[in-house]
Amino acid sequence: MTMLLVGALCIGIASVIGGATGFGTALIATPVMLMIGFAVPEVVFVNLVAGLITRIGAAYHLREHISWGRVALLGGGSLPGAWLGAVTLGLVPEQYLKPAAGVVVMLCGVAMALPTRTQTTRTPSTTAHVLTGSVGGYLGTTTSLNGPPPVLLLMRARLPPLAFIADLAGYFIVANVMALGVLWFHDEITESMFWPRLPIFVTAAVIGNVAGLAIARRLPPGVFRSAVIVLVIAAGAATFLLG
């Protein structure tokens, strides 16, 4: 029971951060839940389900800010990456996979912090969207950390905060559905993952996400960008060290 309550508290707090920045729930929850003692397959499953449900709510509330073309490219591109990631799970030992994912996440954070040539919004190419979605899909089925690649793309595009959160929400809905489908096809999801923990974890995630969205509407763009960069680098470091 203690493990269940601590896990719910962890996901709830992570969802507040995820709601405020548009991502980060899995980045925060994954290393902490692994440290508590949850198995990697269950952590991946819970994060994908919680992310899917909370992002549906975010996408609905911010639907007027969503670029559906961008969501389609990122989400569609995630499928081949998700499939390759599911295959990787059976080939690469976990002790190598987690630290490698942590390094990738940290590099994404460093890349976000690099100065850009312009401060205006610009649209990345179609190829960039698809490749970014593929990398995110791969990280999604292997570690549930499918957020950093699209975050990097959208941060470099200098989207306004609410558009940033809205497009990420649309991406997570598509990418998480695909990742869960691929994992189910590869028999990586078991009945024991559904009950009794999943409903409690999802409830905590929804409550935290509502609080985070309220915070997001009040964050200045500069503070928002800095918070996202710090979050990505810190979560990557935690994943690397605890992996």
User: What pLDDT is attached to residue 139?
Assistant: 83
Q: How far apart are CA 78 and CA 167, in angstroms?
A: 14
191 pLDDT band, cuts 50/70/90, is: confident
User: What pLDDT is attached to residue 74?
Assistant: 92
94 pLDDT band, cuts 50/70/90, is: low
Reported as half-sphere exposure (CB side, CA atoms, 13 A), residue 153 has a value of 25
Task: Tally the domains of the chain.
Answer: 1
- Better pLDDT: 165 or 120: 165
Please tell me the pTM assigned to this model. Answer: 0.75
User: What pLDDT is attached to residue 130?
Assistant: 92
Please, are residues 30 and 232 in contact by the beta-carbon 8 Å criterion? no
Average pLDDT on 128-156 reads 84
Q: How far apart are CA 212 and CA 224, in angstroms?
A: 12
Q: Is the pLDDT confidence value at 119 over 60?
A: no
pLDDT tens digits, residue range 125-140? 889 899 999 998 888 8
Q: Is the pLDDT confidence value at 118 over 60?
A: no
Q: Report CA-CA distances (Å) from 63 to 56, 66, 71, 178, 181.
A: 10, 5, 12, 21, 25
Residue range of the domain that includes 217: 2-242
Mean per-residue pLDDT of the chain: 80
CA 96 to chain centre: 20
Average pLDDT on 210-219 reads 79
Which residue, among 172, 171, 143, has the nearest Cα to 53 in the 3D structure? 172
Which residue, among 155, 138, 170, has the nearest Cα to 51 in the 3D structure? 170
Q: How far apart are CA 115 and CA 39, in angstroms?
A: 38
Please, are residues 139 and 85 in contact by the beta-carbon 8 Å criterion? yes
